[in-house]
Structure 1
Amino acid sequence: MSRFSPFSRPPSKSSRPRYAQPVAEVLSRTDAFAPLRAGVEQMASMRRDLQALLPDYLATSVEPGFIKDGQLALFAAHNALAARLRHLEPRLVADLRARGWPVDSVRIRVRPQSVQDPKPPKQARMSPAGAAALIALSEDLPPSPLQEALAKMAARHVRKR
């Protein structure tokens, strides 16, 4: 039994499955993308250098921008990271210059990451049999904080029903 419909053509030998390809490979196919390819390569190189120069907690939350008139734009995930980057700015500029980047100063911007929807509060549900078992257990225990907590929990779930 064939997996192809009898009315469809079988796949030709020249057709090959499509796979994800690196951006650099796609951009290198034509000269029309040469400026874009150069920018992508520069950003990738800058990201590698920043990850090597910055502490781990900063490197994962900082994105490099372009260098314009000797000023490098860096985008931080939030204000606290931006403040920490401002403290590291003189050393970072010196280290980037030592690596060959034409950087005279750094401009730090905050680019908040997308806000995730807050998780709904947990609402545990207990069956009537479970609540009855908790009540029975709390009545069998001697007076203690555990006995009080079980009685409160059982009462809360009995009230909901």
Structure 2
Amino acid sequence: MSRFSPFSRPGAPAAPRAQRNSRAPGKPRAPQPLAEVLSRTDAFAPLRAGVEQIAAIQRDLNALLPDYLAASVEPGFIKEGTLALFAAHNALAARLRHLEPRLVTELQARGWALNSVRIRVRPQAVKEPPQPKQARMTPAGAAALATLSESLPPSPLQEALAKMAARHLKRR
């Protein structure tokens, strides 16, 4: 029994199991737009409507909020006239609470049927720090830096160039 429904692709007849699994080994499936996947069957209609609603609220919030807030705020669903907003941390949640009356008024003016906003903190995963740069310099470049540092009068620039040249010459 396949874990995929034979109805998962509109217009595609159910292929025998050997043909369905005949995809080249190691070749991943091509990514598909979410809207396309959700439009395949009517069973996903409520989910599709919810995704479209959240995307529309996100666009309006991006237009209404300053950039530093918009990037760290995620909208939730509107339930019983209350919009749930999720902030990345407490400081942003406090700032949103100050903007709450204005947000409600402006979202109502844009056609959203809501009476209030409920702000919750949903910490985001900590991003990995970027890897430190591992600059490489050719021996000719390091030698040119050493020559340049020797030709300069004593100064912070001359010291920095000499240190950089020595570090890159030592690696070779």
Q: What's the TM-score once normalised by structure 1's chain length? A: 0.63
Superposition pairs for residues 1-161 of structure 1, below 5 Å? 20=32, 23=35, 27-28=38-39, 30-160=41-171
CA distance in 2, matches of 1:50, 1:79: 19
Q: Residue deviations 1:46-102, cap 9 Å, x none?
A: 334333433344334322101223321112234443232111101112233344434
CA distance in 2, matches of 1:26, 1:128: 55
> CA 1:70–1:132 in 2, change beyond 3 Å: closer, same or farther?
same
Unaligned ranges ≥5, structure 1: 1-13
How many residue pairs match? The answer is 145
> CA 1:83–1:19 in 2, change beyond 3 Å: closer, same or farther?
closer
> CA 1:44–1:125 in 2, change beyond 3 Å: closer, same or farther?
closer
2:21: which partner in 1?
A: none
**TM superposition shift of 1:45:** 3.5
> CA 1:59–1:159 in 2, change beyond 3 Å: closer, same or farther?
closer
CA distance in 2, matches of 1:20, 1:70: 33
What fraction of aligned residue pairs are identical, expressed as a percent?
77
Q: What's the TM-score once normalised by structure 2's chain length? A: 0.60
- Which of these two proteins has the greater Rg computed from alpha carbons? 1
> CA 1:140–1:42 in 2, change beyond 3 Å: closer, same or farther?
closer
